[in-house]
Every structure is written in structure tokens, then in C-alpha cells.
Amino acid sequence: MSGPASWIHRTRELTFTPPLNPENLYGHLVATAVPGVEEWHDGAYRRTLALAGGPGIVVLPPPSGTVVTAVLHLADPADEDEAAGLARRILDLDADPAAFDAVLRGDEVMAPLVDAAPGRRVPGNPDPDEFAVRAVLGQQVSTAAARTHAARLVRGHGTPLPGPAPGGSSLTHIFPSAHQLTALTDDELGMPASRKRTLHGLVAALADGTVDLHADLATARRELGALRGIGPWTVDSVAMRALGDPDAFLPADLGVRVAARSLGLPERDRDLVARAEAWRPYRAYATQYLWSALDHAVNTMPG
């Protein structure tokens, strides 16, 4: 295939149960977007996908009513259902806001946050392997630095799209697979030696199947957490954003700690975990509401 004429275009209406707050959802996806793989363009979040029949691009504008009208650009029309399913995962459209908001409203600290902007979803990722790599790249660095590291991997090892992305987009690559990233050298990684070791170990484990993030949640968590350099923050980040765990929690996250301080919640990990028992089994959604207390781009609707 070559050139944009090779793309096959499909439109799918993705329904969801309201409310859905788009600000943190689209804000987070775009603030952490990997150049070449993700972007905000022409009023929509766009990203490339590795699908069974070839590359794809999903275009996700903000919702209208109870529908997100997704545009799917496909190399193989047989991939339409897979692409639509991944789009639902990215936007957490299968969540039940009545359930998690009701639990969180039962907490005196959470209730005002929920009432101010109900229906916050967990911004998802279509590929657990990709997100695990990105989580390691993001350990103890800023959002901008993590994006820079990831963009370098994409340029060096990602799969180029078969032709220009439709609509004047800047998308150029599929995020590299674990197998592709086994070719990484230390010279390509501008990070401390310990994190280089962690990344190489993760990539090798994903490539040889030692860690299977497509297994059941408990197995995926256990295998990932057994790797050297992978701590609870990384495991829970992957569980929250890529494995669909509604109860994943990040007490050691800097943003969570800052929010906790501003809201009068305990800052020490152990104490915050104990306080968060009231938010089970929806601590991943509680995290989204905690982050809403921050002055950060992840809370701002793009454009």
C-alpha cells in the first residue's frame, strides 16, 4: 500500500451511559500524547493502532449527547470491529458512572469533586505492552520528558504508516512492539542506567512471554510486578490505564499527593491507602477526581 488512497474509511457511533466529563478524558490523552502516534487535530483526538489486518487510525471527537462519532481509517475493512472496540477502551465508554459516582459521593471529600464534574472516565490505552513501556519511560520524570523519550522510540523503532495520514494529520507511526524494541541500545536512551535496565528487562519479558499483559488481571499484575525496577506505581498505572482495573490506585503519584494535601487528606502512602478504603472498588475513578484538584493540562479540554 502507498498513499492516502489506500485507507478505507468507516464511521461508527459509539454510545455510552451518561454523564461523561470530556475535560479530563481528552485533556489527559492529549497532554500525554506521543508525537507521531497521537495528536489533537481538527477538533478530535487521533491515534494510530496496530490491528490484526494492518495499521489503523481512530479519530475521536468529543461526545455529542450520548454518542461519540468515531471515524476509523483502516488498511483492512475486517478490522472495523476491533478498531471500534479499542476506541471504546481509550475513552472508557463501557464504564457505569452511576455506580462509581454513587460510591464516591458517599465520601465527604470526594462528594464536592464529583458534584462539580460528574462522570470522569479513566483515559485508556489500546495496547497494554505499549503503556507498560510508556509507564517506565515516565518514572520520576515530567510529562514532557516522558513524551520526548517515547517519541524517540517511535522514530527509531516504530512501524511507519503506509502513507500520509488522512486529513493533514501529523501521525506517522505505529508505536513499536516489544519485539521491535528488543533492538534498543543504551545510546538511544537518555535516562539513568537503572531505568535503562528496567526498560530492557521489561521489553525482553514482554517479547518472550515472561510477562503476559493480555492474561487475566491478577496474573498480569503479578508478572509485571516481579520484574526488577517495576514498583507499585508502574503496576497500578498499567492496571488503571491499560488493563481496565477500576480499583487501581496510585498513592505514591506526585499529583495524587499534591491533591491529597490540598484536600486535607493524608499524604503518607500508608495513611492514604487506608483512607482510600472508602472508595473501593472504584479507586481508579477516585484518582481521576483527585487529579481534578490540580492546575494541570490533564484537566483542560484541548483547543
**What are the tens digits of pLDDT across the range 130-161?**
999 999 999 888 889 999 999 999 999 999 99
Find all residues with CB under 8 Å of 76, minimum gap 6, and list them: 8, 51, 52, 53, 54
Residue 29 CA to residue 26 CA, distance in Å, equals 5
CATH classification of 128-241, choosing from 3.40.50.1220, 1.10.1740.10, 1.10.340.30, 1.10.10.10?
A: 1.10.340.30
C-alpha cell at 44: 478530535
One-letter amino acid of 172: T
Spatial separation of the C-alpha atoms in residues 300 and 303, rounded to whole Å: 9
pTM of the model: 0.95
**Per-residue pLDDT at 303:** 82
Cα pseudo-dihedral 235, 238, 239, 244, rounded to 10 = 180
Task: Work out the pLDDT band at 3, boundaries 50, 70, 90.
Answer: very low
Cα of 33 vs its chain's centroid, Å:
9
Taking residues 226-248, what's their average pLDDT?
97
The interaxial angle of helices 232-241 and 128-137, nearest 10 deg, is 140
pLDDT band for position 9 (cuts 50, 70, 90): very high
Distance between first and last Cα of the chain: 33
Q: Report how far residue 99's alpha carbon sits from residue 19's, in angstroms, rounded to the nearest whole number.
A: 11
Q: How far is CA 295 from CA 47, 70, 265, 272, in A?
A: 26, 29, 18, 21
pLDDT digits (tens, 9 = 90+) for 63-111: 999 999 999 999 999 999 999 999 999 999 999 999 999 999 999 999 9
pLDDT higher than threshold 90 for residue 290: yes
Return d(Cα 185, Cα 90) in angstroms, integer.
Answer: 30
Q: Which ranges in the chain are annotated with CATH 1.10.340.30?
A: 128-241
* Range(s) within the chain of domains with CATH label 3.30.310.20: 4-95
Residue pointed to by grid coordinates 520526548? 148
In whole angstroms, give the CA distance from residue 38 to residue 185. 24
The domain 4-95 having CATH identifier 3.30.310.20: the answer here is yes
| pLDDT in the model for residue 1 | 37
CA distance 38 to 161: 13
Grid cell listed for 105: 459521593
The pLDDT value recorded for residue 296 is 85
